[in-house]
Amino acid sequence: MYQGKGRCACAGVTVGKILHIITPVTSTSEAAVTYTQDKDQELQLLEQALEQSRQELDALIDKAQAELGAEQAEIFEIHRMMLDDPDICDNIRDTIQNELLTVSCAALKVGEQQAAEFAQLDDDYMKARAADIKDVTARIARNARGEKSLVLTENVVLVADDLQPSQTVALDRSKILGILLRHGTQNSHASILARTMNIPLIINAQLPISLNERSEGAPAADADSVCDLSGHTVALNAVDGTFYIDPDAETTQRIQAVQAEFAAARARQEKLKGQPAISKHGHRIMTFANIGQVDDVEQVLANDAEGIGLFRSEFLYLGRSTPPTEEEQFKAYAKVASTMNGKLVIIRTLDIGADKKVDYFDLPHEENPALGLRALRLCLFMPEIFKTQLRAIFRAAARGNIAMMFPMVTRLKEVERVLKICDEVEAELKANQVEYKRPKIGIMIETPAAAILSRSLAEHVDFFSIGTNDLNQYTTACDRQNENLADYSDPHHEAVIELLRIIAQNAHAAGIPVGICGELAADPELTDTFIEMGFDELSVSPGAVLALRERICNSEAQCLNPCPAALDKLQAH
Ligand code: PEP
Ligand code: MG
């Protein structure tokens, strides 16, 4: 038995068989150059790899269309077309013929060459195709090498270095019992997805170099390669962050007992569906959920959240090669709002930058991206991209109960600029007789500057939602992506707690609702504190909604900052 440790990114307990996903090789520099002595055989192998790639992409297109909508499927349709593009396929054939390279090497080489040519074009759309070409040629190479595809035929615990967006979309989530990642952070795409789907997840896991080592041997977290764990059993305790590979009978029993406790708590919490969250002394808190993609709404409704407190709209922009059009966004927002059937949906405008990057914006390199051109700053830097999103939100707001909020605000001047842009968008829509509704407009309080200025900011917006993930990183000067700051990065840091109190007081002094949508909202040790501070709304991952509701209902804490008018405004949105 090997025992390892990591950090919990989605609580849960599971025991299952491992599927170890080895990070795909995507460039020739990562793969040894290999030659063939039989080019005819190699050309035949190429045709097989192309055919397999076509079949995989056809299946991916169907899956993306069914689960994410036609627009999201478009990226895979482009990949499918590239497979029949003679510029790519004939080039690979010629490279095999002339240079006697294996299919895998020839495909990666052609991918790199063509991607480099596309990257130099003036047209932004064509430039953005570079990443697609590399993705397609990597798929051909992988199939030629006969590597396992990620089709899940049985329930598994996934083990990987990290997960890519295209891998994540391709997976059948119902077959994933748990996830164990060597890297990753609490707020990476994989972590957010796992929480949304309620899949137990451990990140920064210390995986073994070899299972022959004694279990107390040195962990391999820093090693370049870890052994392939596929087929081994893992007992995953994503409550205390421990995991056991090939667990002995006693460990399996112990983990299964924790798993049963989890299931019992869940059954108890199910009974709170349809009930409001009201503390013993009568403080009402709306229990909302966070989402990143349109189909996450299913989980929101399944867990009886009363609204969506944070729709991370940037996920519509990730894992593709061009920004989503106004129409695509409009459809996505309108679909979420109509599925929520009158319950409030708060869309957070684009928060790209720092850890969330998209190649197609082609932004300058930054030494400190978390302190750079991210979120609202980036939107103000690219006003046309921003306006496209605002138009989509205004139009969708005519179809459902939508509010919007801006991330990374630091001062009033930014809010004034952004409200002016909203006025311009509204005037254009009106002039063009497009159906729209101006949504309620809030801001995220996630910088110390905005927290300190929250008294005056509250006079200019309809609501506050606190992003504690960023508020913590900027207040305590602890990079949220840095895996080595565990001793310094304290989610309960006194300075952050004090700022929460100040923000809630200032919001209520101005009579506006205040909520928390960062990870801290789900922290069981702070539910009483949030009631005392008078929060009106807490937004957590869908799977955490009912546990939060249970804690609020059982809480004896007294609200010291009541503001019935603020709650009324939230409910009347
Ligand atoms: C936050 O910062 O707390 C937040 C909710 O936003 P994100 O995690 O997406 O930056
Ligand atoms: Mg944030």
Choosing from 91, 122, 145, the residue where a domain stops is 145
Which amino acid residue places its CA nearest to atom 9 of ligand 1? 312
Residues 339 and 366 both lie in one domain = yes
24 three-state secondary structure: coil
Residues 169 and 293 both lie in one domain = no
| 366 annotated to bind ligand | no
Average pLDDT over residues 84-94: 91
| List 10, 105, 517, 559, catalytic entry | 517
Q: Which ligand is nearest to the CA of 538?
A: 1
Choosing from 105, 127, 145, the residue where a domain stops is 145
Q: Which atom of ligand 1 is closest in space to residue 468's alpha carbon?
A: 3
Task: Note if 89 is an active site residue.
Answer: no
pTM of the full structure? 0.74
518 ligand 1 Cβ < 6 A: yes
Residues 202 and 336 both lie in one domain = no
| 470 annotated to bind ligand | yes
| 348 annotated to bind ligand | yes
Average pLDDT over residues 468-480: 94
* Total domains, the chain: 3
* CATH number of the domain enclosing 183: 3.50.30.10
| List 8, 10, 105, 189, catalytic entry | 189
Q: Which atom of ligand 1 is closest in space to residue 519's alpha carbon?
A: 3
Q: Angle, nearest 10°, between helix axes 545-554 and 249-270?
A: 70
Residues 359 and 385 both lie in one domain = yes
Residue 351 located in a structural domain:
yes
- pLDDT(513) > 50: yes
Residue 379 located in a structural domain:
yes
CA 550 to ligand 1 center in whole angstroms: 24
Residues 13 and 44 both lie in one domain = no
Residues 398 and 534 both lie in one domain = yes
CA 120 to ligand 1 center in whole angstroms: 34
Residues 482 and 406 both lie in one domain = yes
468 ligand 1 Cβ < 6 A: yes
Residue 29 pLDDT: 55
- Spatial distance between the Cα atoms of 538 and 366, rounded to a whole number of angstroms: 33
171 ligand 1 Cβ < 6 A: no
Least confidently predicted of 28-32, 54-58, 71-75, 199-203: 28-32
Cα 447 to chain centroid distance, Å, stands at 21
Residue 551 located in a structural domain:
yes
317 three-state secondary structure: coil
Q: What is the mean pLDDT of the chain?
A: 89
Q: In degrees rounded to 5, what are phi and psi of residue 232?
A: -80, 160
Residue 261 located in a structural domain:
no
- Spatial distance between the Cα atoms of 227 and 328, rounded to a whole number of angstroms: 42
Residue 530 located in a structural domain:
yes
- pLDDT(27) > 80: no
CA 214 to ligand 1 center in whole angstroms: 40
292 ligand 1 Cβ < 6 A: no
CA 408 to ligand 2 center in whole angstroms: 7
* CATH number of the domain enclosing 54: 1.10.274.10
351 ligand 1 Cβ < 6 A: yes
Residue 88 located in a structural domain:
yes
Choosing from 97, 117, 145, the residue where a domain stops is 145
CB within 8 A of 346, min separation 6: which ones? 288, 307, 308, 309, 310, 311, 402, 403, 404, 405, 442, 465, 517, 539
- Spatial distance between the Cα atoms of 231 and 233, rounded to a whole number of angstroms: 7
Least confidently predicted of 235-239, 402-406, 434-438, 530-534: 235-239
- pLDDT(46) > 70: yes
CB within 8 A of 122, min separation 6: which ones? none
| 480 annotated to bind ligand | yes
Residue 368 located in a structural domain:
yes
Q: Which atom of ligand 1 is closest in space to residue 520's alpha carbon?
A: 3
pLDDT in tens, 475-512: 999 998 777 887 888 889 999 999 999 999 999 999 99
pLDDT in tens, 402-446: 999 999 999 999 999 999 999 999 999 999 999 999 999 999 999
353 ligand 1 Cβ < 6 A: no
Residues 297 and 410 both lie in one domain = yes
Amino acid at 480: R
Residue 223 pLDDT: 47
Amino acid at 23: T
Residue 179 located in a structural domain:
yes
Q: How much of the chain is helix, strand and coil, in % rounded to 5?
A: 50, 15, 35
Task: Note if 189 is an active site residue.
Answer: yes
* CATH number of the domain enclosing 284: 3.20.20.60
Residues 221 and 298 both lie in one domain = no
| 266 annotated to bind ligand | no
Residues 199 and 301 both lie in one domain = no
- pLDDT(284) > 80: yes
- pLDDT(70) > 80: no
Average pLDDT over residues 67-78: 74
321 ligand 1 Cβ < 6 A: no
Burial of 282 (0-12, 13-18, 19+ CB in 10 A): exposed
Dihedral in degrees, nearest 10, Cα atoms 496, 502, 504, 508: -170
Residues 48 and 103: beta-carbon distance below 8 Å? no
Q: In degrees rounded to 5, what are phi and psi of residue 555?
A: -80, 140
CA 505 to ligand 1 center in whole angstroms: 21
CA 516 to ligand 1 center in whole angstroms: 10
Residues 100 and 221 both lie in one domain = no
Residues 162 and 218 both lie in one domain = yes
Residue 107 pLDDT: 92
* Boundaries of domain holding 169: 2-23+151-254
- pLDDT(145) > 90: no
Residues 237 and 25: beta-carbon distance below 8 Å? no
